[in-house]
Structure 1
């Protein structure tokens, strides 16, 4: 045992003397220290990494700055080689995984040596990267590519990149600045007041409050009045802005938020070293920016403008939705100012469809073989269903007439009776077959077609038959119905070229003979309206009571060639004004 103990002591003494190991038999060697240093750097424990060097304070400052500048999501590391004798050379690979999928990879070197029998990393900034020198820092430079515009179906710009200026306010200065700032900005944006600025600043305190983002031209108008106000700072940005601020106000913001990343392209980025003053010294890595292609929408500026102009004379909330039946491509979503105040109600509002729903009821009756377009039906002034008195509008009576005439003259009594002769699910199924009740997930748009629940009673079924009761529809949904009649299949709506719509809850195809009958009946409607001079138009009028029944919305739903549309004038009292708006819309298309 004495001989063995002496042998071990002798071997350790030789190793210590030769520098191949520390004099502590169980101390970590240079490979272990290298692994530990890189693992601590990767985990973000810069204090632990720095403690493994011979200059912990300087090392920690450099490592902290590097991580803060690059904000890595992960750092992968691989040790390629470590020597064993002091000083020991270490070579390793670092892969910085930065935000937005950016990767910066390189090989670096370090030297390790023993200090009082403990291995240390000899600290130099080049341990982080070979190009990093003393009194230098790392910096990430992002280069924004040329943005692309958003176009309509004909290649005309809807949204274009422009320089804007964000006006930011320090909440601590809000009391002093809000008054003169509001006075300067209110003529540009009437919603900005002294109180709104104070309230907004208090809500985000202590962060800076974004008061407004101005187009460059608007900023230059007010710059002299606001630039020297206390607590303000200004940030220039590139944003997609409407070419015409009044065009498609309920659709373009949604499009912008959906495609903003697409049209921004892939930003270029560089990792550089900087001196103490922030000046760039050297480029360590570069990735060129990749400009994006323009995004094309299905919208038509011509159709959109015609829709908006047609609604200008209407005092109440009014809207028009138009699509292309052959493709489902959305052509226009037009609303007037009173409608805009309520949001995108042309797409998501739910209203009783009134007599426009007789398209659905007629399709159900025709499909079930209960009637044909020429079947004689009664159209009395009133009818009673299980104690419920159902009148025609103004209690007109036609006597016995063909179904097509009862449809054209909008006999509530006829369609109430027809609906009660059908199974409980008939109207729900017929609506779904025409696209009403379908759910469309459209990139760039939120929509609701409507809802047609099964009737809970015979009275409810009768009321549903002429578009009152519990049935609800949006103008978007009724445009889909018109498009289905026009094309013979449900037109799956789309907004962005190349972005597919997910369609759910679609019904079965409507039989050709049913569609032919509906088309003829819808033409007969038009010949009795202000649209009679437009030979290609087919449609259905609708007066839909709401509330206590003393008020009514006015509808017109129809198609002309490869254009399907729905017009809704809320609170209009009757369908007459909706027909007039439809006429202005169609003639405005040229």
Structure 2
């Protein structure tokens, strides 16, 4: 007959041990030992043994080797007629179906009136012996690549060299900086010293180099006192020129995928970490490449286009047919401001006239052929709206007022709209919608209700309280191309959600807008791009601050590419138009 005693700790409640006396019997000792192991209390478990010091070291090593994420349940069974012996049952778990169980045995010895568990490594596992320790590890398929939408590798696991400097050898900062400056001109002796000044670490990481770059200076680095080079693996872009705020979150998504599919193993290893015995293992599951919506070719072309501009510049391109993000590029001048391509909010200026015109068309206030006045200035509720340089077109069709970016015509239409008209229309195009996109943090924009005439006319020309991000404006263009609110995505198969259901856009409205945007390119404010096939767009200049400077915008649709281009402080739409042209012409 077996007498089984299982000890469990739950919510801090310690179950009393029945039958305790001033001198615990072997069953009590094994019970306390098992209970302490479940709590990962190495000191308490070791105290139940004949050699607490040695036992505590071994038990701590077991917990360290199994990892912080491990949980363990331990039970002890004693046999009638063998009061000095027990079977210990271990059940380890790391979650996700990663479980490892085994039995081992132990004995207790009596010295005087006191029983103690006879310490031996086999108390922890029947095959454990002096000089060996536990090691739990995961086995991930690190060769799983991140692909662009065409199947081209976008990111792969690569070797990098981590270059560190010892605080005791600050005199090496200058020669180290001289070796590394060709890879990053901002690395100087002063910058290295500043790193040490900002913390108390004995060593600081000065730079990480790709393997081919490391090979160029490996020997020289080895001759600089205090410098250490450690090689490790990292997920890197396949093209060193590839830089995008859309890529930053891909590494975590990739890591989550391969971790979920990872295999695992438990080994007994020697002091050098060499495997002595495999105790349990499961191979990694098949992990398919992580395919993104990005287009490597378009991304590099967009990057080249923004890099020609000295001021902060951004291009975001989205597929009108799928909503997939094709490219998101921002230049070095923009990078210090953060991921402004996706979360920077700016007044959209006249690019917002696409939304204003859509609201007016849907409300029946006008058609593309309707005659509208385009005076040089228009005053509504003490707010004077001027055209650029006060140009005056007289009375022209709405399509002409749109293509020549007539502020006064749009202001007059905005004044006739309800307070929430622009808010609702913008949301139908995706501006103001909160999207949850795995791998990205995005903000599309804000279009508050306009309760006064002055607010309506200012918002109607993309000033006032209206703000958009380049991403949000690109979403609006993609929605126009799609005919309904798109769900922008970054990784195939990952679920994207929105706080507003997708809304269909009236076909008559989208058709009219596409025609007017094409007219803007063929004979309006973006005629510099008339050679780009099938391009339709809208220019925008948005004042900010003290109104002495402006942001420059251009947004549009060319084939399946819906895009928005921003030059922060561009002072006109011309720089954004040029960047867009460079991008689209090279994209073909």
Task: Report the TM-score when normalising by structure 1.
Answer: 0.89
Equivalent residue for 2:347, pick from 349, 352, 375? 352
Q: Which segment drifts farther, 385-394 or 263-272?
A: 263-272
Equivalent residue for 1:258, pick from 253, 259, 262? 253
CA distance in 2, matches of 1:507, 1:82: 66
The alignment status of 1:76 with 2:73, answered yes or no, reads yes
The alignment status of 1:561 with 2:559, answered yes or no, reads yes
Equivalent residue for 1:326, pick from 321, 325, 328? 321
* 1:473 shift after superposition: 1.4
Aligned partner of 1:551 in structure 2 is: 549
Alignment CA distance shift 1:136-1:149 (3 Å): closer
- Residue correspondences, number: 565
Q: Is the 8 A contact 2:37 2:74 kept in 1?
A: no
Q: For structure 2, list consecutive stretches of 5 or more residues without a partner in the other structure.
A: 1-19
Q: Is the 8 A contact 1:170 1:232 kept in 2?
A: yes
CA distance in 1, matches of 2:155, 2:231: 18
* 1:266 shift after superposition: 4.7
Q: Is the 8 A contact 1:87 1:113 kept in 2?
A: no
Equivalent residue for 1:54, pick from 50, 53, 56? 50
Alignment CA distance shift 1:248-1:490 (3 Å): farther
Q: Equivalent residue of 1:407, what SS?
A: helix
Aligned partner of 2:156 in structure 1 is: 160
Aligned partner of 2:3 in structure 1 is: none
CA shift digits 1:242-296 (9 cap, x unpaired): 1222223322233223323425675554433345666543333333344632111
Q: Is the 8 A contact 1:148 1:264 kept in 2?
A: no
Alignment CA distance shift 1:494-1:469 (3 Å): same
* 1:517 shift after superposition: 2.2
The alignment status of 1:176 with 2:171, answered yes or no, reads yes
Aligned partner of 2:392 in structure 1 is: 397
Alignment CA distance shift 1:175-1:100 (3 Å): farther
* 1:531 shift after superposition: 2.9
CA shift digits 1:301-341 (9 cap, x unpaired): 22223323333443322222111112110111122333334
CA distance in 1, matches of 2:570, 2:48: 80
Aligned partner of 1:64 in structure 2 is: 60
* 1:199 shift after superposition: 3.0
The alignment status of 1:239 with 2:237, answered yes or no, reads no
CA shift digits 1:501-524 (9 cap, x unpaired): 121245743322222222222222
The alignment status of 1:377 with 2:400, answered yes or no, reads no
Q: Is the 8 A contact 1:361 1:465 kept in 2?
A: yes
CA distance in 2, matches of 1:310, 1:26: 83
Q: Is the 8 A contact 1:263 1:293 kept in 2?
A: no
**Cα-Cα RMSD:** 2.6
Q: Which segment drifts farther, 370-379 or 45-54?
A: 45-54
Q: Equivalent residue of 2:249, what SS?
A: helix
Q: Which segment drifts farther, 87-96 or 432-441?
A: 87-96
* 1:526 shift after superposition: 2.0
Aligned partner of 1:121 in structure 2 is: 117
CA shift digits 1:34-79 (9 cap, x unpaired): 2111112222333332232233333223223222332354220123
* 1:143 shift after superposition: 4.8
Q: Is the 8 A contact 2:46 2:55 kept in 1?
A: yes
Alignment CA distance shift 1:457-1:94 (3 Å): same
Q: Is the 8 A contact 1:147 1:264 kept in 2?
A: no
Within 5 Å, which residues of 2 pair with 1:356-371? 356-371=351-366
Q: Which segment drifts farther, 136-145 or 359-368?
A: 136-145
CA shift digits 1:433-468 (9 cap, x unpaired): 211111111111122211111225322221111112
Equivalent residue for 1:533, pick from 531, 539, 559? 531
Q: Indicate the structure (1 or 2) with the bigger Cα radius of gyration.
A: 1
Aligned partner of 2:407 in structure 1 is: 412
Aligned partner of 1:16 in structure 2 is: none
Q: Is the 8 A contact 1:311 1:336 kept in 2?
A: yes
Aligned partner of 2:184 in structure 1 is: 189
Q: Is the 8 A contact 2:92 2:100 kept in 1?
A: yes
Alignment CA distance shift 1:447-1:405 (3 Å): same
Q: Is the 8 A contact 1:323 1:563 kept in 2?
A: yes
Q: Equivalent residue of 2:333, what SS?
A: helix
Alignment CA distance shift 1:468-1:29 (3 Å): same
Q: Is the 8 A contact 1:438 1:506 kept in 2?
A: no
